[in-house]
Every structure is written in structure tokens, then in C-alpha cells.
Structure 1
């Protein structure tokens, strides 16, 4: 905003050839008349409170009589009015409409205008003073309004970050979270779930993708009850999850914004739905674990759902027990030339296919003979026969735990 001089304006020079007129006696403004002007301006501005005008009309009236611009102190008060309007929720357009309407409605009541036939040149001077006063007032109102809005935005961002941290950490008091949640678009009385997305480049609060995700969620089952934020470089979406269809819809909409995983280098984890502030924290932790687990397992799918990985949560609840299960069952495979991975992959495919060697061979692009050879080697080394149904449960638990632990690389 351009800087304006605060000193009084010089009266304009009279026109060439104009006959001088004696200065009229000062006519003080009529309070009732100014009140009617303010009320009409309020109507023009959609009912904006006329009290926001303060003594603006009287100040303009006196400035016209004195042929001077508004004083610096009066302009400063306009700046304060702009700040107050911003903090009380008055729209800037309505505020400016109030002042502009008040100025043009005041025009016909000004003494130089009423006496235009006596001194036409005074009307020109009055017009210049009114325009200058209106310009100064609007500029100050806008400046004060914008400064206050910036402060409000910064405060809102700070409050939002604090709320997100409290909600996801689970350290804040639950009643306080429930009271604060509606301010940020959440009704925690219903079931919610959390989606966590990580990419090669960390997400930030000002990332355009956040706004894109918010727009994309409009019209979805979570539209009126979703929070999009960042936490530790990850994109976090807290959303209403009344049923499985709502979860799938939100995930697909987030995927549509992020684009192909290979291009954006992103992966996502989705926690299980639950009701209440505490369930959001649980769902967030589940989403993070699902994301980490899928990364360790080298999962091909970019979105890992905690509901599908519940068995891994059970297996890893006691990490030492899970490690002992893997080592006692699969440990001998470490000694094989080429490492345990080929045999582990064969066991995984064989168990997933329901013990069908032909289907296993197709999945691994091997011959059936190669598959049966590997299964035989596993039996000879570990003493566990994958072809025997009664031994498959323990073997499958060991294979799942191995994948979850990143075995054998993580245990070597």
C-alpha cells in the first residue's frame, strides 16, 4: 500500500477568471441528518452495523468546510476500525460498501453543494476533499483489515497445528478435544479413520496438495467431516468412516490427487475405524504401522490397510516371541547357497495358493519341478513339511512373521 502524507492538503487554487466569493459562515453538521445518512448506507451494505462509521461523516463534513484532508489521527482510527471489523467477522466488501455509500449519500447535504449556485467553484473543492477523504479512509480500512486477517490466519494455523498434534498424540484431555473438534470440521461422536501418506518429498502445511485433497473430498461420504493436515512430513487425513464403502471412497479420492505411486513415490497406510477422540489416535498409529510394515514386506500395493494386516499386529505384539518363532522354524534356511529368500518366497506363494504347486510355479515363473524341489529342501533343512496340512499353520505364521520382521536381512 502506498504511503500517504499525513499533513493537511493545500486548498486548490481558484480557476482562472473565476470571481471570488466571500467565505460562508461555517455550518456545523446536523446529528440527525448524519444518522439518516449512516442508516441508509447501512442498508446499502446489507445491514452492516452503521456504528462502524464512527465519526467519519462528521469528520468529512468538517474537512469539506475547512478545505483540508482528514487528519492523521482520523485516518488511524479508520485503520483500527478495519482491524475490529476483521476480528468480528465483517466482510471487507461490506465494510468498504458502508463507507463508500456513506460518502456519496453525504454529498448532497454538504453546505458547498447545497449552495452550488452561489459558489460553483466551492463544489469542485468539496468534491476533491470528499474523494480524498474517502480514498484515505478506504485505504486505511483495507490496511487494518488485512493486517488483522493475517494475524487471525497465523493464530488459526497455530491452533490447528496444536489440535492436530493433540488429536494424533492422544496426550490431550478427551473432553477438550471434543469441544475443539467442531471448529476444525470434525464431529468425533461418530466413527473415524485415519489415512497417512508418505512420499519421497515430505509434505508441508503450505503444500498445494493439501488443498487439492480437501477439494477432492468434497461430495464424498467424509466431505462434511474431514481434516487434512501434515504430521512429521506425512500427509494425514482424518475422516468420517461410517462403513467400509466410505473408507474405500476416501482412499480412492486421495489416490486420484496423488497420481500413480510410481510417479509420486508415495505409499499410504489406513487405520481401522473407531469412535471417539481416542480411536483417532489408535487409527493413526495403526495407519503408521501398516505403512511401515508394507514397506518392510516390499508390498506391491501402494495402500496398506491395517484391517488386512491385523494378523501381523498379533504376530508382532511380542517381537521377541515372533523372532524366536522365525528363527526356530526357518533359521536353517540361512545356510543354503543363495540365501533363504528364494525358499521363503516359494513357501509364501505355496501357502497363499492353498498348497497348489502348479499355481505356485505360475506365480513365481518357475517349473513345477523347481517348486517341489524347493519344498523338499525346506522339509529336509527345517523338518517342516509344507505339503502336510497339519503343519501349514505354524509354517505360515513363521513366514508371515519373517516378512513383518524383514527377515532374513533384518536378523542377519
Structure 2
């Protein structure tokens, strides 16, 4: 009879429970959890009291309310651990102070009450955590969307400055500061994006701090926006002057990833202000393309070191005419122009030393000498003649910048 009456009236005990006592339990649990708001408990304590005195299980609507509280906690930025601690602490305190259980000497009654309370705790905490996790995923997706839109507008450089300043502030960006942009391109398709971003953020935030730094993806590449004056010393190959620290910092981390290797990284020059960010990005983008065309051996390239190619391409019709006039006769050679241009490039890179050239391109000195003579015969320019060397070298630089002979020369205006 008693059990039947309890089922018909879902909350007989809670209705008569001293609300002041429950409020005290909630306040102590909040204090123990580091000040988590009592409001996040909702009707959790009455549910526990009901379970202890009547054995009633929580209804779906009541668990939905707990899930909503989990979402609310995530949106308020409270850690999941502290919220769960609030619920467990509240359950422990309520159990120790529950008058019905405290007065009972019947072990079966106590055991049944404990089982009912533990069931509510289990259901409530699991539902709370589920709501928290869903809200966190939504927040991460929302933040990622905002981050991606912000980085797109920053790199484009044509958005309203006032609006961008407001949008950048939550990400800790001071757009008046001097920034530089670095790009990282994988050897093939970009691997696990989240893993790559997480790896970069961990090392860059540790070295530079989390202000004025953004890590994102764009066009299949990783993009890092960082203050130009914050990069500390890193382990770079001998001969570097330290201005490409951001690039080497990225490379040192990315090469540890299981996929994506080898990585090519380009670092734009530092520039102040909003439009400086877009300018640094364009420089890095051009540098990463040019490095691939030039077959540069270094994994990290600086836009500063490739400025000569920007100068050459500024008057593209003139450089097209130079390449066509000086190097196009090489296409008549057996095997085409590419082997001879590669030999010329290495010859100039080694300071005009045939033995060093032979070592680098894995040929005999005699074969290198033959190729140089063949170039002289076809073009009329002697690579060993100082008077001809500048013309040949400028033409080779222009050919690489235009990706010739792999691609046809652009039509002259």
C-alpha cells in the first residue's frame, strides 16, 4: 500500500523536505567545487531526496533538464571536472545528512535507499556530461568558424578595419602590432588537420604565448599568424641569421607528425598593421610557390631571400623576352632544355666550379664540361665568361620564376 501510494504521488518526500536544509547542502557543495554556481544543480537535490525516501527514478524530462544544465555550464566556461565535482559533492553531503536514512536502523531500507541514490547520481552525472560535451563541440565548431572567417578576412586585407578590430579582440590579436605570416605545405594532401593545428599551437603558444597568434588552414596549407618580435631562438641549420625562427619552429614540430612529410614552409616578411598581415601572407604564398619551382633544398624559405624573383617578374614581358632570346635554343638539345638549365643553375650556385657542380648533380666533371660547352654552342653565351655570366644567370633565374621549360612562356604583350 505504501509503495503504491508513493508511485501515484511522485514526490511526497521532497514536498515535505526542509528547503533550507537542501539549500545548505547545495551551498557547501558549491564551496567544495570551487564556487561553481548553485543554480547548476537545478532540481538535482530534490531528485536525490526522492530516490532515498521513495526509490523513484528520475523521469526523462528531469534528465533533459540536467542535460540543459550541462550545456549551460559549458557555455559559462566552467570546467567539466568542477561541474561533476559539484554533483558528486552534493550527493555525498545529502546522503550523510538525509534525515530519513540517518534515523533508520533497518539495513535493508538503507541499502535500498543507497541503491536508488546511486542510480540517480549515475544517470544525472552521465546526462550532465553528455550535455556538457555537446555544448563544447558546438562552441568549438562555432569558434573554428569564426577563426576561419577572421583569418580569411585578415589575409585578404580588404575588410573594414573597425569591424576586424572587434572580431580580432576575442582571439587576442592587436592589429596595430607588427606581424608576419608563415605557410606550411605538406608534400601531398594536408593530413589530419586537427592534429597538425594542435601540434603547432602547443609549441607556438609555449614559445610565443597565446596572444597575437592564430593557427588555421587555408587552401590546403597551414597558416600561422604571429607577432614578428616574439619568436625566440630555435635550432636552425648553420648559416641562418635567425630571422626565420618562426619557420624553423614550425618545421621542427611538423616533421614529427606521421604524415605530411616532407613539409615546405615559407615565411613572409614582418609588416605593421592590418594590411601588413595581408602583404606578409602574399609574400609567403609567392615564396612557397617559387621555392617549389626553384627546387630549393631548404625546407624553410624566407620571402626576403626570394625578393630578386619579385623584381624579375615585376617586368614580366622583359623577362619573358630575355628567357626566350637567351635560353630557347637549348630546347634543340637532346633531352631538351631542362638538364642544361639545371646544370647552369648548379654551376652558378657553386660559384662557377665545375667539380662542385659535378658532385651536386651526380655527374662526372667531363659530363658537366660537355654540357657547358653545349650551352655555349647553342646560345652563343659562355658560362665561364664573366661578360656572359650575368646574362645567363638572369635568364636562368627568370626561367625558374616562370616555371619554364615545364610550362610554356607567357605570351608577350
TM-score (norm 1): 0.79
Match of residue 84 from structure 1: 72
SS for the counterpart of 1:397 is helix
SS for the counterpart of 1:189 is coil
Match of residue 72 from structure 1: 60
Q: Distance in 2 between matches of 1:114 and 1:186?
A: 57
1:327 aligns with 2:324: yes
Paired residues, number:
391
1:158-217 deviation per Cα after TM superposition (whole angstroms, max 9, x unaligned) = 222222322333343333333333534544433222222223331156452332233333
Cα RMSD over matched residues?
A: 3.8
Instruction: Tell me: CA distance 1:184–1:10, structure 2 relative to 1, closer, same or farther (3 Å).
Output: farther
Alignment check: 8 A CA contact 1:274 1:280 kept: yes
Return the offset for 1:10. 8.0
- Bigger radius of gyration, 1 or 2? 1
Instruction: Tell me: CA distance 1:26–1:226, structure 2 relative to 1, closer, same or farther (3 Å).
Output: closer
Match of residue 235 from structure 1: 222
Match of residue 42 from structure 2: 54
Alignment check: 8 A CA contact 1:360 1:371 kept: no
1:127-164 deviation per Cα after TM superposition (whole angstroms, max 9, x unaligned) = 33333332332222222222222222222222222223
1:64-102 deviation per Cα after TM superposition (whole angstroms, max 9, x unaligned) = 444423343333221221111111112222222222222
Instruction: Tell me: CA distance 1:103–1:392, structure 2 relative to 1, closer, same or farther (3 Å).
Output: same
1:27-46 deviation per Cα after TM superposition (whole angstroms, max 9, x unaligned) = 81222222222111111111
Instruction: Tell me: CA distance 1:205–1:175, structure 2 relative to 1, closer, same or farther (3 Å).
Output: farther
1:134 aligns with 2:121: yes
Match of residue 297 from structure 2: 300
Return the offset for 1:359. 6.5
TM-score (norm 2): 0.79
Return the offset for 1:309. 0.8
Q: Distance in 2 between matches of 1:69 and 1:345?
A: 79
Return the offset for 1:294. 1.9
Q: Distance in 2 between matches of 1:355 and 1:274?
A: 37
Q: Distance in 2 between matches of 1:154 and 1:111?
A: 46
Return the offset for 1:394. 4.1
Match of residue 252 from structure 2: 256
Instruction: Tell me: CA distance 1:272–1:97, structure 2 relative to 1, closer, same or farther (3 Å).
Output: same
Give unmatched runs, 5+ long, in structure 2.
Answer: 7-11, 234-241
Instruction: Tell me: CA distance 1:161–1:221, structure 2 relative to 1, closer, same or farther (3 Å).
Output: closer
1:143 aligns with 2:130: yes
Comparing 153-162 with 85-94, which one deviates more in the overlay?
A: 153-162
* Counterpart pick for 1:165 among 146, 149, 152: 152
Instruction: Tell me: CA distance 1:284–1:204, structure 2 relative to 1, closer, same or farther (3 Å).
Output: farther
Return the offset for 1:353. 5.2
Q: Distance in 1 between matches of 2:118 and 2:357?
A: 85
* Counterpart pick for 1:181 among 168, 172, 178: 168
Return the offset for 1:357. 6.8
SS for the counterpart of 1:237 is strand
